[in-house]
Amino acid sequence: MKLILRILLSAVAVIILANVLPNVSVDGFMTAVIVAVVLSILNLLVKPILVILTLPVTVITFGLFLLIINAIIILLADKLIDGFAVGNIWWALIFSLLLSFLQSIFFTLLKDDKS
């Protein structure tokens, strides 16, 4: 149940960001749910591989390269999902940062609600 709620909250965050950011678009709520699921899967399967492969660059940049990896994951989701579009890597980077921020707020509210 908690996983489903987290995915729905992530979908809401995707919808909010698609309405706020000019170069990010999503067709509807169902597409946003698909985006949330695909991002979860990509973060689970692809991101660890990218982190290991780019470890030297990540160390040299004091971890800032992880932001680029997040943007690459967003662009990969863009290519995989019809109805979800991100303009370029810079918009993917902004989307990634704001999505993480919104998710942390939503998930914190979720924890506080259950206490």
Which residues constitute the domain of residue 7? 2-114
| Model pLDDT for residues 3-19, shown as the tens digit of each residue | 899 999 999 999 999 99
- Span 88-113, mean pLDDT? 91
| Model pLDDT for residues 58-95, shown as the tens digit of each residue | 999 999 999 999 999 999 999 999 999 999 999 999 99
In this prediction the pTM is 0.89
Does 113 have pLDDT greater than 70? no
Q: What is the domain count for the chain?
A: 1
- Mean pLDDT of the residues in the chain: 93
**In this structure, are residues 41 and 3 in contact, taking their beta carbons and an 8 Å threshold?**
no
* Beta strands in the chain, from DSSP E residues, in sequence order: 24-26, 84-86
